Amino acid sequence: MSLQKRLNLSFMAMIVIPCILFTVALFFLFITFSGTDGVMNSSYQLQNIEKKNTIFSELKLLTTSTPTSFYDENYLSEKARELEELNIALLIRIDDDITFSSNLFSDLPIKNYLTPFGQFVNHVHNSVVIGSQAFKFEQHDFYLPDQREASIFFIKETSPLEQFTAEYLPILLVLLIVIIVLTNGTLSYLVSRSIVKPLKTLQQATENIKSGNLDFKIEEKRKDEIGHLTRDFESMRQKLKHSIEVQQLYEENRKLLISNISHDLKTPITSIKGYVEGLRDGVANTKEKQQKYVSTIYRKANELDALIDELFLFSTLDLNRASFHFEKLNIVHFIQECIDDLSYGLEKSGVQIKFQNPYASSVLVTADPEKLMRVFNNIIQNSIKYIDKDPGQITITLHKAEDLLFVTVEDNGSGIDSDDLPSVFESFYRADKSRNSKTGGTGLGLAISKQIIEAHGGSIWAESTKGMGTAIKFSLKLLETNGDTL
Ligand code: ATP
Ligand code: MG
């Protein structure tokens, strides 16, 4: 439920619940104190009031027309009977004596509560409590012909409800206020808790992030705005953590890169320095020795040059600053050309190369031929370097799948250890950690190949079995094909 809906509902509940509670409370009080009769027979009660008023008026009239009637026991008894039916007692007081009294309530000391002559004020809501009962009095004072002071009393037991209302009205009001305060307080607490609690969790999470701690998790299953906010916060934390981890990895790589570059640059420079010192100090004292020193210096300088070239290419690719010249390329001709270019080196190493093309003479891809040549060169040079069997064998195969062309270069060389396999495409990674074996290499070749293939929209990976051989596979986007045989 949305927060807005929840607030609206709680606002409505704050009004409705006290009303319902108060009405229910009143209803039960009414039932308890009045009984069902009180509820049902209100029209009957009205008739009784009318009857009583008629008798009262009749008696009042008598006070002027025939006041002697107030000495007439029979007449008064009759009226008293009529009134008793209405549950009203009749009392006549002349001077201070009660000259007539109904049987009703005769056991109660009502006399003591009668208002003296001339002092009665008709307070409708005032009732007199005698023992456990409450009574309402009506009084009419008049003078008899002999100037004696006389009073007529109608005494009626008030209904428990009336009595209750009169007595407990302030309590009822307090009860109403208490119900309102409790309901509103509880609802406000519940609603605010459902908002404040997750906000506190978020605040704690923010503090954690501020102090650099990202190793925590906040879970929230709610579907409202706060739930969304918490989930967004959690995904932000995960992304932040991931980006910091990536940054740390980059930092590590950068340090490693600098250390590897320094090492690989230092090695040829140290040997160039050694040979130059040898020439300067006259260690190369014969013509042949001097010739040998100079040609070694030249070879080392060339290595340095090639290394700097590779480094430069790698960094431009890494920074996405290398320019690619994509064109429509027939990969079948292209591979054939690569093989021809490498044939001298292949022959020299005694390695046979096979190109298995199940397709027709033309398979078109989009590629930068110069950059792709580097990839082929590096992969085949690697195979030549690591072939340890006689005869050495390299097989190039093509395979199409949907809009991709997969190229596999497989050799029967030493293979790559499964621990090294995931890392061979990292810059400066060499399975041979000594970095100075006769196989040479900087460990940039496959890293550069990966950058180039990815820039072509493809992917590159290695499969290898130690001691059996290695297969380097990469994909290129197919442009169109002619005369497929498969
Ligand atoms: P560079 O190519 O920069 O001269 P390199 O050949 O050592 O140096 P990569 O081409 O990146 O570097 O290859 C990385 C590592 O992967 C190599 O050092 C080697 O250990 C391993 N490797 C690559 N190709 C093969 C292969 N065909 N057989 C066995 N090991 C290989
Ligand atoms: Mg290489």
- How far is ligand 1, taken at its centre, from the CA of residue 325, in Å? 26
Closest ligand 1 atom to 431 CA: 20
Ligand with smallest separation from the Cα of 450: 1
Co-location of 280 and 374 in the same domain: no
pLDDT at position 206: 94
pLDDT at position 436: 52
**For the ranges 83-92, 134-143, 162-171, 309-318, which has the lowest average pLDDT?**
162-171
**For the ranges 18-22, 88-92, 310-314, which has the lowest average pLDDT?**
18-22
Co-location of 285 and 327 in the same domain: no
**In the chain, what percentage of residues exceed pLDDT 70?**
91
Which protein residue has the closest C-alpha to ligand 1 atom 17? 430
How far apart CA 145 and CA 77 sit, in angstroms, is: 22
Q: Last residue of a domain, which of 288, 317, 346?
A: 317
Co-location of 156 and 14 in the same domain: yes
pLDDT reading at 36 higher than 50: no
pLDDT at position 43: 67
Residue 255's CATH number: 1.10.287.130
Which protein residue has the closest C-alpha to ligand 1 atom 15? 430
Ligand with smallest separation from the Cα of 435: 1
Co-location of 87 and 142 in the same domain: yes
Give the pLDDT band of residue 480 (cuts 50, 70, 90): low
Q: Last residue of a domain, which of 120, 149, 168?
A: 168
Give the distance from CA 386 to its chain's centroid: 54
- Inside any domain, residue 213: no
What's the farthest any 2 CA atoms get from each other in the chain? 175
Half-sphere exposure of 200 (CA within 13 A, CB side): 6
Ligand 2 is a single-atom ion; what residues have CB below 5 A from it?
378, 382, 445
**Are the C-beta atoms of residues 28 and 164 closer than 8 Å to each other?**
no
**For the ranges 68-72, 251-255, 372-376, which has the lowest average pLDDT?**
251-255
pLDDT at position 440: 63
How far apart CA 79 and CA 57 sit, in angstroms, is: 12
Co-location of 291 and 381 in the same domain: no
pLDDT reading at 160 higher than 80: no
Ligand with smallest separation from the Cα of 440: 1
- How far is ligand 1, taken at its centre, from the CA of residue 384, in Å? 10
Ligand with smallest separation from the Cα of 387: 1
Co-location of 298 and 348 in the same domain: no
- How far is ligand 1, taken at its centre, from the CA of residue 443, in Å? 6
- Inside any domain, residue 181: no
How far apart CA 332 and CA 339 sit, in angstroms, is: 11
Model confidence over 196-224: pLDDT tens digits? 888 899 999 999 999 999 999 988 888 88
How far apart CA 216 and CA 65 sit, in angstroms, is: 101
- How far is ligand 2, taken at its centre, from the CA of residue 441, in Å? 6
pLDDT reading at 37 higher than 50: no
**For the ranges 217-226, 229-238, 282-291, 353-362, which has the lowest average pLDDT?**
217-226
To test the pocket of ligand 1, the residue of 309, 317, 351, 382 to mutate (highest count of ligand atoms within 8 Å of its CB) is: 382
- How far is ligand 1, taken at its centre, from the CA of residue 429, in Å? 8
- How far is ligand 1, taken at its centre, from the CA of residue 446, in Å? 7
Mean pLDDT of 58-80: 91
To test the pocket of ligand 1, the residue of 346, 446, 468 to mutate (highest count of ligand atoms within 8 Å of its CB) is: 446
Give the pLDDT band of residue 49 (cuts 50, 70, 90): confident
pLDDT reading at 251 higher than 50: yes
Model confidence over 264-275: pLDDT tens digits? 889 899 999 999
Cβ < 6 Å from ligand 1: which residues?
A: 310, 378, 382-383, 386, 411, 413-414, 416, 424, 429-432, 441-447, 470
What's the whole-number average pLDDT of the chain? 87
pLDDT at position 153: 92
How far apart CA 25 and CA 184 sit, in angstroms, is: 18
pTM over 0.75: no
- Inside any domain, residue 190: no
**In the chain, what percentage of residues exceed pLDDT 90?**
50
Model confidence over 426-464: pLDDT tens digits? 888 887 765 554 556 788 899 999 999 999 999 999 999
- How far is ligand 2, taken at its centre, from the CA of residue 449, in Å? 9
Take residue 310 and report the two structure tokens written for it: 């590779």
Closest ligand 1 atom to 447 CA: 11
Give the pLDDT band of residue 404 (cuts 50, 70, 90): very high
**What's the number of domains the chain is made of?**
3
Give the pLDDT band of residue 417 (cuts 50, 70, 90): very high
Q: Last residue of a domain, which of 270, 301, 317?
A: 317
Co-location of 159 and 242 in the same domain: no
Ligand with smallest separation from the Cα of 449: 1
pLDDT at position 485: 41
What is the domain range of residue 236?
225-317
**Are the C-beta atoms of residues 412 and 354 closer than 8 Å to each other?**
no
Co-location of 30 and 141 in the same domain: yes
Give the pLDDT band of residue 413 (cuts 50, 70, 90): very high
Model confidence over 338-383: pLDDT tens digits? 999 998 888 988 999 999 999 888 899 999 999 999 999 999 999 9
pLDDT at position 171: 81
Co-location of 366 and 390 in the same domain: yes
pLDDT reading at 135 higher than 60: yes
Co-location of 22 and 164 in the same domain: yes
Co-location of 293 and 348 in the same domain: no
To test the pocket of ligand 1, the residue of 424, 436, 453 to mutate (highest count of ligand atoms within 8 Å of its CB) is: 424
- How far is ligand 2, taken at its centre, from the CA of residue 386, in Å? 10
pLDDT at position 197: 86
Which protein residue has the closest C-alpha to ligand 1 atom 23? 382
Q: Where are the beta strands (DSSP E) in 95-167?
A: 97-101, 128-130, 133-143, 149-157
All residues at 6 or more sequence positions from 347 whose CB lies less than 8 Å from its CB, including other chains: none
Which protein residue has the closest C-alpha to ligand 1 atom 4? 441
Mean pLDDT of 129-149: 87
Ligand with smallest separation from the Cα of 433: 1
Co-location of 304 and 380 in the same domain: no
Which protein residue has the closest C-alpha to ligand 1 atom 24? 382
**Are the C-beta atoms of residues 263 and 435 closer than 8 Å to each other?**
yes
Interaxial angle between packed helices 42-65 and 73-85, expressed in degrees from 0 to 180 and rounded to the nearest 10 = 160
- How far is ligand 2, taken at its centre, from the CA of residue 67, in Å? 140
